[in-house]
């Protein structure tokens, strides 16, 4: 439950903050910056549930020394002149959303990006708005499918900041939207546009970020919501059960994660004689290391090495007009008690 100590609705001339929250990124594609980022990320109890007294020595003496250089090299492959793709796209989404809300008659709405790990941090943006006397804030995690590892972690960060304030703003949180019509419309348009340019492959693979199987057994709805999105998108595209599959990527550690895993699935498809695949990552709002490096480089190569002929990656929604439209409508819907267009 988000902390709230300012129950009165805003007056028409009061500004409202809309914070687009994404996972985060290191400040630079260097081992030192990656180490700082991974230290924060992997110290989150939502991510690694081991007791800190057990986990922190492992993290600092074994995991970080091994991963910081390798991860930095991966970030170097996707880094742009503007910076980290994830941060660049999230900031552009925020800028576009603010404009589109204004065009829809939603005046006095400030929209910014906040990263759960790294910069610009959620706390730093909340602090800036608090100094500007913005007392009503809508938190919009860019995770359509709810998970304790993502959405709840964002909520933790907001609550942690609010607890330091003698009078915190009023917060609202959009917790999930896996079957939102605007979101699905944006995904459908991206796939159909891809097909118009490249033709349709034999298989559409929808790859979502994975979480440990234990989380699902403890009640996390993430897997079910990913499958809900996959099934709804496949239905919109007119695909049969044999023409698409939903998979899960980015496994970390030795514990079982939810299956099927993305790379082994693509390798198996190639060995079975599937020559062309289209791959989309519906759970990622912005292209990032998990999509650009892991999927479009590592998994692509694995598919080709096993005999596949064409691996066609469909970019994330990024700044697609249909996606900004979906975000605008979501925000307007959730702000209706505070502000009418």
Q: Is 202 annotated as a binding residue?
A: no
Q: How far apart are CA 149 and CA 322, in angstroms?
A: 27
The residue assigned the tokens 């090495």 is 305
Backbone angles phi, psi at 157, to 5 degrees: -65, -40
Beta strands (DSSP E) in the chain are 16-25, 109-118, 136-141, 170-173, 203-209, 244-249, 276-280, 310-314
Q: Is 290 annotated as a binding residue?
A: yes
146 and 228 in contact (C-beta within 8 Å)?
no
Q: How far apart are CA 178 and CA 229, in angstroms?
A: 5
Q: How far apart are CA 108 and CA 105, in angstroms?
A: 9
| Residue 283: half-sphere exposure toward Cβ, Cα within 13 Å | 28
Q: At what angle do helices 85-103 and 321-334 cross, to 10 degrees?
A: 60
Q: How many helices (H) and strands (E) does the chain have?
A: 12, 8
Q: How far apart are CA 6 and CA 248, in angstroms?
A: 40
Query: Helix/strand/coil (H, E, C) string of 257-303?
Result: ECCCEHHHHHHHHHHCCCCEEEEECCCCCCCCHHHHHHHHHHHHHHH
| Distance in angstroms between the alpha carbons of the first and the last residue of the chain | 27
What residues contact residue 177 under an 8 Å CB cut-off, 6+ apart? 144, 183, 330
* SS3 category, 198: helix
Q: How far apart are CA 39 and CA 114, in angstroms?
A: 18
* SS3 category, 233: helix
Binding residues for Fe(2+): 209, 290
Binding residues: 209, 290
């Amino acid at each position: 439950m988000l902390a709230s100590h300012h129950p009165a609705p805003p007056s028409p001339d009061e500004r409202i903050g809309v914070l687009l929250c994404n996972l985060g990124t290191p400040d630079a594609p260097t081992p030192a910056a990656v180490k700082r980022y991974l230290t924060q990320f992997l110290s989150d109890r939502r991510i690694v549930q081991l007791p800190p007294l057990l986990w922190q020595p492992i993290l600092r003496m074994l995991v970080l020394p091994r991963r910081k250089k390798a991860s930095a090299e991966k970030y170097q492959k996707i880094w742009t002149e503007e910076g980290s793709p994830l941060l660049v796209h999230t900031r552009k989404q925020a800028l576009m959303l603010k404009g589109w809300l204004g065009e829809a008659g939603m005046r006095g709405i400030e929209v910014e990006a906040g990263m759960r790990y790294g910069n610009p941090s959620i706390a730093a943006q909340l602090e800036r708005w608090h100094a500007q006397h913005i007392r009503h804030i809508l938190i919009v995690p860019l995770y359509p499918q709810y998970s304790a590892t993502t959405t709840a972690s964002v909520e933790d960060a907001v609550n942690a900041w609010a607890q330091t304030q003698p009078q915190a703003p009023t917060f609202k949180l959009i917790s999930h939207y896996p079957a939102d019509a605007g979101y699905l419309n944006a995904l459908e348009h991206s796939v159909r546009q891809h097909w118009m340019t490249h033709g349709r492959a034999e298989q559409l693979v929808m790859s979502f970020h994975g979480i440990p199987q234990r989380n699902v057994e403890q009640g996390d709805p993430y897997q079910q919501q990913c499958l809900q999105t996959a099934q709804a998108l496949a239905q919109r595209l007119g695909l049969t059960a044999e023409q698409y599959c939903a998979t899960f990527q980015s496994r970390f550690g030795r514990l079982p994660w939810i299956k099927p895993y993305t790379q082994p699935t693509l390798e198996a498809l190639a060995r079975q004689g599937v020559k062309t695949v289209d791959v989309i990552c519906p759970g990622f709002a912005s292209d990032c290391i998990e999509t650009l490096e892991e999927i479009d480089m590592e998994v692509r190569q694995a598919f080709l090495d096993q005999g596949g002929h064409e691996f066609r990656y469909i970019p994330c929604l990024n700044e697609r007009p249909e996606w900004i439209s979906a975000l605008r409508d979501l925000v307007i819907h959730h702000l209706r008690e505070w502000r009418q267009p």
